[in-house]
Amino acid sequence: MNDVMTIAVLGGGTGAGATTALVGLAVRAAAAGREVTVVDADPCGGGIDVAFGLETEPGVRWEDLLGSDGPLDGERLTQRLPARSGGPKVLSFGRQWCDLPADLLEHAMSALRQVSELVLVDLGRDLRTARTAEYDEVLLVSRGSPCGLAAAGATAQRLGRPALLLVRGMREQQAVDAAQALGLECAGCLPEDRHLSGDCERGLPAGSRGRSSYAGACDRLLRELLVSRRAAA
């Protein structure tokens, strides 16, 4: 597919909610009928398949691809990735830590771009090997507190490219003002949702409650990222 968008998601500070935001975006995009693939690029995150309730599902994880030499077949790879019916495909780490070679990530991303409409990448917080210039957008998720915004500002300075600030638990105009103060563009806001923690424990991914305010916020952000920005380009 030529009309693919790749979005890297990372947190500005501890507890920013970046992985939850990524999961919500992936679930809502898949619910809208898009071909979505999630790539876990955070070896210390415990495996993003857990956030999708897929940790017991069979399928390829990064450790199964170690030793791969050269390009990967995107169609064959996505067919082997764990996913729920109609949900996003997920390339995750398993339960045991393993290093992710930069060339393997590059080959996987190249393959997945050929068969996906949207590729969402969880970068974690280790930016030493993050090649943020390779993504169409970088989404920086922050708590709407002074400490959270300060951490987001410090993270943004390390990126080496513009990022979109997504703020959790803050009114939109306040978030716009905070982003401007940090020299960033505001992507939007995500509301606090008391159901998210309990849903995650039951294996229900963020964004699954289609009528919730959290899902609605993810839908609006996706429209802005996938429709408005693409039209402007």
pLDDT in tens, 2-39: 589 999 999 998 889 999 999 999 999 999 999 999 99
**Cα→Cα distances 189→156, 180, 183, 194, 217, Å:** 17, 14, 17, 16, 7
- CATH number reported for the structural domain that contains residue 213 in this entry: 3.40.50.300
| Residue pLDDT, tens place only, 170-199 | 999 999 999 999 999 999 999 988 888 888
Contact 161, 132 (CB under 8 A): yes
Beta-sheet strands, E only, within the chain: 5-11, 36-40, 89-91, 118-124, 137-143, 164-168, 185-190
What pTM was estimated for this model as a whole?
Answer: 0.94
Whole-number average pLDDT of the chain: 91
| Residue pLDDT, tens place only, 52-74 | 999 999 999 999 999 888 899 99
Least confident of 40-54, 114-128, 199-213, 217-231: 217-231
Domain of 77? 5-232
Least confident of 18-27, 134-143, 222-231: 222-231
Written as one string, the DSSP assignment of 12-50 is: SSTT--HHHHHHHHHHHHHHTT--EEEEE--TTS--GGG
Count structural domains, the chain.
1
**Cα→Cα distances 50→57, 104, 172, 203, 233, Å:** 10, 22, 30, 8, 35
